[in-house]
Structure formats: C-alpha cells, structure tokens
Structure 1
Amino acid sequence: MTQTLTREQVLGVDPGRDLDVLVAEHIFGWRRIQGPPHDYDGAVEHGEVLIPPTVPTNEALQMLPPKGSVPLSYFVNRHWSTDIYRAWMVIKQVEREWAWEMKMHNVACEVDVRIGRKDYSSENVSEAICKAALLAVLDL
C-alpha cells in the first residue's frame, strides 16, 4: 500500500537508495508486494518488496533470494537520484504531464529544477530533478 508522504519527508530523504525507492514507486509506478512467506528454514516474516509495474508478482517472487530478509528496495537499482544520466529518465517520465525547466545559479553552485509549479534547488542535479519530480507528482 502506498504511504502518504509530506513535503518535509520528501525533502528530508538523502540521495541514494531511499530516494530511488520513492522515485520508483511514485514516478515510475512500481508497486509493493508482500515478500515470500518462507525460505529454506521454513516460515519467515517478510515485509513489502517494490517491483516494476511490468513484472508479474509470481515472477518477482521467483527472483527473490531463497533465504534471508528481503528489503523493500531489493529490485531498485536504477540510481535515479545519484546518476545524472539516470535522472534524465525521470525528466522524460514527468515531461509527458508537466513542463519543466532548469536554472544554474553560479554564485551558489546550485541548480534549480522546476517541474510544473514545484521546484527544488541543490548542488546535486540528480537530487534536484528527483525531488522536484516527486513534489510535482505528489502535489506537495
């Protein structure tokens, strides 16, 4: 189940795996499934696992490791918030619905990214793209 996020929560997430999880779920439509109920040793408790929208649940469960805990981010390996090449995929995804612009601030060494009516500034361009996109999609 998708959680309701606040603007402060989105802005408080550092670039990396946690921000990439938010991008996967809210920008690219990845969905949460319940992890497998058992491993080699028998029954276990697993949390949710985020999977791409085109992967069937049973196929995703078969790809999970047969033993041990599986994190929510197990399949999230796109690095949208840390790799500028990957961040452009976020722009391509959101530009279907919103106009976007990017401005460099030479004095502050920051970039300001505006998507729709939402914007975010950072020295990290990938972070600015991802957070501006999340703010726009979630209307925060």
Structure 2
Amino acid sequence: MKFSKRTLWRLKNKNKKLKPNKYKKLKRDSLRGSVKGTLERPRLSVYRSNENIYAQIIDDTTSTTLVACSTLDRDIKLDSTNGRTCDASRRMGEKLAELSLKKNITKIVFDRGPYIYHGRIKALADGARAGGLQF
C-alpha cells in the first residue's frame, strides 16, 4: 500500500488511534514501494536504533542478503567509543563499501527506510560513496 505524504500527515494528525509504530510502518512501506533492488543494482537497507546503526545490501529478486555490516562489528567498535556518532556511521559506510566491492557490487539503490536523510543516515551514505559505491 503506497501513500502520499499528504495522506500520511492526514492519517497522523486526524486519526489519534494510529499508533506511532503503525505510522512509521506506513511511511516505510510508502518509500519501499518505489525502491526495489535487483541483481545489477541491489538495495542498501538501513536500520537505525538509539545505540547502533545497521545496514545490509539486499537482492530483492531472490530475497537474499549479499553483504551486512553494523557498528557492532569488531573493526568499527574498536575505533569508536559508541555507535551513536556520525563518525562511526561514516566508518561503517566505508567498511560496507569495501565488503561490497570484494563481491563485485558497485552500483546500489539507497533505501533509507522511515528515517530522514540527515545525521547518521547521511554519514553512512557519504561513507559508502567515499568507499566507491555509486548510488
């Protein structure tokens, strides 16, 4: 089900019974309706929690995860004190690009999920671009 921004705001403002998680799911599904990964251009999916950030490169045609990385990985965890910083997200994006280039993945489609393109999400995308991935 794909909703426009205006419809999502109407649902959020008018319908007080709509829980925040339900609104978040509607928002995410609205974006994911237009973003699909193929074998030539897999999808880079991002999940952000309060403590860490996780990313994986997915081929939607076969529903398989090709590469996965997070701020809990040993290399990134040793460099930073916590996974909440933009610097840790940037390093993780570079690491993800390095892992994907080993598997001959150069072009991807960026799926930010329900998160706005700002802060840690933007730092991750910039790190992946700096590592050699093309969006």
Which is helix-richer, 1 or 2? 2
Question: Normalising by structure 1, what TM-score?
Answer: 0.26
Higher alpha-carbon Rg: 1
